[in-house]
Amino acid sequence: MVMVATTNRNRTGVPCLACPLRLRPAFKDKPDEEVRFIQTMKLDHRQLPAGTDIIHPGQEDAELYTLFSGWAFRYKSLPDGRRQILNFLLPGDLVGLQASLLSAAQHGIEALTEVELCVFPRRRTYELFARMPALAYELAWLGSREESLIDENLTSVGQRNAQERIAALLISLYRRADALGLVSEDSFAFPPTQQHLADALGLSLVHTSKTWSRLRRAGLFSLSGGRLKLLNPRLTERMAMLFESERWPRPLI
């Protein structure tokens, strides 16, 4: 059973002007005035263990978050327990925009690893649109970006075969991690299990395991000590038929 975030260890966190994420190549520069306004919006800095629901399906008081560190994923479940992972979330990603704007969350968001979150109150989202239209546009842009990630995953589930699906997910996560400065010698920390991959790619666990082993034996990647290394990124791109890189630098809220 997934734990739900009811009590957390709360901390002040790093001041927004000193946020180390702002130095990463994934994110564009922002005027100090806007960063200070974001600081006034920030409600909390929260740390949660792996397996916790950051937002649970049906939640009516979901806040808006920026993922400060760690990995999470957005999912929907069927009544019989089957789960579809819609997309993975990495540091700097906006979390819960849809849930904070609707009366109740239509999906869940679970911490894949231990995570830290910058918390923004949903009740002040309108204030962002009223007082800082440039930031409001960036909020909408980030919502559209998440939609594009889900579009790509839907294309994989609907049209790519098993090998192409895994290759597309790996190259996409590799590119995102690289823009965050998380890649070293073509390797990066890779916390998803094969069950997570199966749930993300619409495959059975057995099919995922067999395909994963086949691609590893073929020399596309290696996995050791929780770090995945792409041994032939260009071949992985060709197999995935995924040549367009993600657009960055992008906004950071």
pTM, full prediction: 0.89
Structure tokens at 97: 């925009």
Q: What is the pLDDT of residue 4?
A: 45
Coil, strand or helix at 64 = strand
Question: Bridge partners of 115?
Answer: 48
Average pLDDT, integer, range 155-184: 93
Strand partners, 184: 187
How crowded is residue 43: how many other Cβ atoms within 10 Å of its Cβ? 16
Q: How many angstroms separate the CA atoms of 37 and 26, rounded?
A: 21
Distance of CA 145 to the CA centre of its chain: 11
- pLDDT tens, 33-80? 999 999 999 999 999 999 999 999 998 888 999 999 999 999 999 999
Residue 127: per-residue pLDDT: 80
What is the per-residue pLDDT for 72? 98
Q: What is the DSSP letter of 76?
A: E
What pLDDT is recorded for position 243? 64
| Per-residue model confidence as pLDDT tens digits over 114-141 | 999 999 998 888 788 888 888 889 988 8
Cβ–Cβ under 8 Å, residues 48 and 72: no
pLDDT-above-70 percentage for the chain: 93
Would you state the pLDDT for residue 11?
A: 53
Say how far apart CA 47 and CA 45 lie, in whole Å.
Answer: 7
Judge whether residue 12 has pLDDT over 70: no
Q: 102 versus 1: which is more confidently predicted? A: 102
